[in-house]
Chains A and B, each alone.
Chain A
Amino acid sequence: MNTQTKSSVSFVMTENNLVLTIGENIYSIGKDHLNYDKILDKIYQGDFENLNQYIDTRKEIVESGKIKIDEHGAVTFNGRPLQGPIADKFNQLVRMKKDISPLAKFMENLDNNPSERSKKELYGFLTNKGFPLTEDGCFIAYKAIRNDWRDIHSGTFDNRVGAVHEMPRSNVDIDSNNTCSTGFHVGTFEYAQYFGGNGSRMVLCKVNPTDAVAVPADHNQQKLRVCRYQVMDICSSRIEDPCWSSL
């Protein structure tokens, strides 16, 4: 703990928390403030003049599409607050100071999904880690395939990079209680690893949230049934970045 008064700046610094007054204004800055480290650096350097610009974080982010941010920092899409994994993704993007437009597009695509039930289940699936967004508002999921690029279950679908597989939505089983049923399946990195086992490959698949149909009840929300996906790349590890680009 350090207490210091210097001209018009006073502060109390405890572990992970800083309270300071600059002139008449008081600021409470916690470890999770976007510029916490920078502000601390400035204080250590005794440079109090430009502190304000780091404290106010509203300008660090540009609204995109139907994602709006009000003066209190509340974030909404179409007037609704962002929830669960979507809010987490937004926070991740902001923390990394990345563009939020892929998320805005993702939300619009998700809005086009005709089934409320599918949307709800997709939220559950996305609470798992490692689903980066693409620029066009889709997300990347993982799929284990045979060494000859064919799918593991039937060995009929060629999953070379670039392949797009699609079937009418009505052919995909929407009932999540049917754990193994018709439809294309993608999953988390861990699930794909488990499902593929030895002697398999893993590919990254681009999935539009509009095409998500059901999250089967087994395997703890780790697999997703879709009616369309596109193979984007081969995969060796889980992608931690919030966004994915083929370049």
Chain B
Amino acid sequence: MKTTTQQHNVYTSQDVQEKKFSIAGTAMAFEILSSKIYTDPHLAIVRELSTNAYDSHKQAGNTDKQFVVHLPNILQPHFSIRDYGTGLTKAQIENIYTTYFASTRSNSNEYVGALGLGSKSPFAYTNQFVVISYKDGYCYKYSAFKNQNGEPAIAILSETTTEEPNGLEIVVNVRQEDFYKFYIAAQKVYTWFKNKPIVNGHIINLEKPASLDGLVDSQNDLNIEIYNINKYDHDQVQYSKSWINVLMGGILYGVDCGSLTISRLALYNSAMIVIHADIGDVDISASREELYLSEKTINYVNSKVRDLEDAILSKFFKEFGSLDKTLDKLVLVENTKRIYNFIDNSLIEDGFDYLNTYMRFEDVGVRAWEYEIGFNQRIRKDKILYIDSKYFYNKRYSIITVAENESIDSKKIKYFMQQNNKTTCIVLVVDDIIKFNKFANIQGQKISEIKLPKIPKASKQAYQSKDYLIVSSHGTMDPDNSSTIDPNNTFIVERRNSTLLCHDFETQSWSILEIANLIKPNVNVIAVTAAKMKKFPYIKRLDTAIQEFDINLSKEMKASIYRKYHMKSKDIIYGSLMELIKDCKSETVSEAFKAMSITDSSQNQSAQNAYVRILKIKDIALDFSEFIDPIQKFYEKYPLLCSVSQNISKDEVINYINFKDNQFS
């Protein structure tokens, strides 16, 4: 890059004698120039050495070839860059590395480098590094190091012939605690390189953030890009902390927006702009860490920002005028507001203020609800009164409109959302179609009437397929009934190789098909339970299924399934015992049992049910003798399960219930 030094007009009388200042080449002076000018030495090394490699490729006419970077790791703890540029002769190395401010590139804007400091940047981090030059069949290997006095020095260690192509390789040892800093530095630098290097030693993500399209005409010569970025997202920290950035010579410089004249760009935390500048358009500081805010720099950035504002505004008004639906205009305004701050406080048309809208859904003939699926797959429903344009431009939302007379079934909406991978959904019930159509064309793209899908009967589909198998340990599982299935106790077993695919879902849902869809969309399933389920033929007992589908389940796996079932039955038994004692107003279980035998059962249906449940589950539980080991342990721990007819006191049952309620630790 061309460097500029100002000419000064100075006049003195003849008797004035001039004595020039000079710089003492002390260790301290070198220390300041090679390390103290950088606030981030890791980033400085990556940036400086990489731009040198880039320049050298350019000088050699080799810009298509990638240079090779090695990031440090525990087995090879060094950072290195091998370029395929011009390489340096012995004399050049000994001159360039030993002379600060010696640059071959300060007279041309072809190159990024200019000051003759970058090649010494490794001294900002280490007291020794390796320089290898491949030049016209010779290979020179140097150590650059700080000598006893702390002054930089260079020594040739070997000189050999080579068949390697010309170029330079710099190797810097890295301490283990700094590996990560080099990864981040490499991400920051190479993300914006046009011709990205080959990176070895550690995998890093060099993808640019997603573009924010549609805000300016694509046919523009602004040379400005707008990116969608979330500055709170830890994975995006490598991009930039600044809203406005200048990309020059492959390096991104953040602009301190405080130094600009007031801008209407409102980037907040969701967008960043990158101005592509030619080398020399702006000035940079000696460390090249930031822009040098000279008049030239400020004027350049200001004029680019103005150009962008004009382009946004002209595109906005062109489009706004061409739209005729209120909703479409609202969406356009919201989209533009993400990046442009309308200084006028209102944008009124036909009495509707697009910048400050407090319009109610009622006003456009609609009733609206917001549905959200939260953790544990529970669905929440809230009535919403005011139109917020975010519903219409934010892709997070899915909009369903239903005619007035169609019933809204939460289960169907949930199923629709799960099918479409949505967690939030707006349901509009259109009461006044004329009013609504004026607001938004229902046949248009923004809102379309969606027929809610019918929830498929999981059972029938499942029974026809033998591809996948769901084994549920929950005795009362019913795939078509939302309230009873507990997928947290559900295993999925892939039949082909009988390996455990997944278990323990964090979800409550109503059908087996739905659970399967969470893992593998459109998979067909068979439901199997440990309990006897004659009522549902598609739910097979585990042992039957194992036989029928020829599944090779380990004993451990089977035992695990049964054990889970046991935990559940234990809860049910104790719950039922409590109910029984309460209903019979007795102090012990045996008393309650006695009471059951003399009380008219029709008068105490709930106690009767609890009683039957206890006997039934106990019966099932005792069926598991095949898997005696874990079951035996279980009984040892919970002996009461085996002896429901014994004298269990009310206190014991209450203790158990309290114990369950207190599952804190």
Contacts and interface: CB of A to CB of B under 8 A. Distances in A.
A240 interface: no
Interface stretch (A42-50, A132-140, A169-177): A169-177
B141 A32 contact: no
B603 interface: no
Interface in A10-41: 10-12, 14-21, 24, 26, 28-34
B508 A170 contact: yes
Given A1-B145, A1-B148, A3-B155, A73 B662 contact: no
Interface stretch (B45-53, B199-207, B306-314, B336-344): B199-207
B157 A10 contact: yes
A167 B663 contact: yes
B173 interface: yes
B445 interface: no
A208 B452 CA distance: 41
Contacts of B73: 72-75
B141 A21 contact: yes
A114 B141 contact: no
B665 A151 contact: yes
A64 B227 CA distance: 41
A33 to B, nearest CB: 6
Interface in A39-97: 57-58, 60-61, 69-70, 72-76, 80-81, 87, 90-91, 94-95
Interface stretch (B291-299, B498-506, B520-528, B550-558): B498-506
A72 to B, nearest CB: 4
Contact of B502 (A60, A61, A114, A181): A114
Contacts of B174: 30, 32
A30 B376 CA distance: 51
Interface residues of B, number: 56
B575 interface: no
Interface in A151-166: 151-154, 156-157, 165-166
A200 interface: no
Nearest to B659: A156
Q: Which one of B146, B147, B665 has the greatest number of beta carbons of chain A within 10 Å?
A: B665
Contacts of B664: 153-154, 180-183
Nearest to B177: A32
Nearest to B170: A28
Interface in B164-179: 171-176, 179
A61 B74 CA distance: 11
B10 to A, nearest CB: 45
Q: Which one of A15, A114, A210 has the greatest number of beta carbons of chain B within 10 Å?
A: A114
A94 B77 CA distance: 13
A18 B129 CA distance: 9
Interface residues of A, number: 66
A81 B203 contact: yes
A199 interface: no
B230 to A, nearest CB: 16
A33 B567 CA distance: 53
Interface in B636-665: 659, 662-665
A156 B78 CA distance: 54
Q: Which one of A11, A91, A165 has the greatest number of beta carbons of chain B within 10 Å?
A: A91
A29 B179 CA distance: 15
Contact of A33 (B77, B507, B665): B77
Contacts of A170: 376, 486, 488, 506-508
Nearest to B200: A72
Given A114-B505, A151-B665, A184-B665, A17 B75 contact: no
B176 A91 contact: yes
B89 interface: no
B128 interface: yes
B4 interface: no
A73 B74 contact: yes
A231 B67 CA distance: 53
Given A28-B78, A31-B173, A60-B75, 4 more contacts: A17-B126, A17-B145, A114-B505, A170-B506
6 contacts: A1-B145, A3-B155, A12-B157, A17-B145, A19-B157, A174-B506
Interface of A: 1, 3, 10-12, 14-21, 24, 26, 28-34, 57-58, 60-61, 69-70, 72-76, 80-81, 87, 90-91, 94-95, 112, 114-115, 151-154, 156-157, 165-171, 174-175, 180-185, 210, 227
- Top 10 nearest A-B pairs by Cβ distance? A30-B173, A73-B75, A72-B200, A73-B76, A17-B128, A170-B488, A12-B143, A151-B665, A19-B143, A81-B203
